[in-house]
Structures are given as C-alpha cells and as structure tokens.
Amino acid sequence: MSSESKDLLPEPVSRRGLLRGVAVAAGTVALLGATVEPAAAKMTQQAAGYQATPKGDQTCASCSFFKGPDACTLVDGTISPNGWCRFYAKKS
C-alpha cells in the first residue's frame, strides 16, 4: 500500500472512545430534550374569559381542550364540565 492510501483509511475506534462517544451523545440528547420542550404554561381563567356556566349548548365537557374530570389544557385551575371560555372548540 502506498502512504496515500493509508491516509485514506479510517482510524480504528477503541472501546473506550466508543463508550465515551455514546455517553456524550446520551447526555446531549437528555440536555436538548429538557431545554427544547416548551413549558406547558396555562392562562388564567380571567384571561380566557372563563365562566362556570355554559354559553348556550357550548360547555367545557364538549370542548376538545377539556381534560376530565375538572381540568383544561389551556386554562389553569379547576374547570367545571358545565363551564365555558372564549377558546371553546367542539370535539370532533
């Protein structure tokens, strides 16, 4: 083999180097996962125009954002299934 073809061959990877690379990659993925995922901040009931009574036939229980028995993915606090807010979106 010529010296030029030897320069083109990859260096062998040691077990220690491979394990170190895997550990660094796993740490990087964990760090990115913790920083990239947005916080699930909810708005106040007042900001959403929430009321504990329905608006016509629109109720939280029939909204796609409602998470029974008494929560919402958008609005903070205890949510009545009979309540309503301006972000009402009928379940499909």
Domain of 22 in residue numbering reads as 3-36
Domain assignment of residue 12, yes or no:
yes
DSSP 25-61: HHHHHHHHHHHHSPP---B-HHHHT-BSS-BTTB-GG
pLDDT tens figures, 11-64: 787 888 777 877 777 777 776 665 554 556 899 999 999 999 999 999 999 999
pLDDT tens figures, 8-21: 777 787 888 777 87
Domain assignment of residue 26, yes or no:
yes
Residue type present at position 73? T
Number of domains in the chain: 1
Q: Residue 74: what pLDDT?
A: 95
Domain assignment of residue 47, yes or no:
no
Domain assignment of residue 70, yes or no:
no
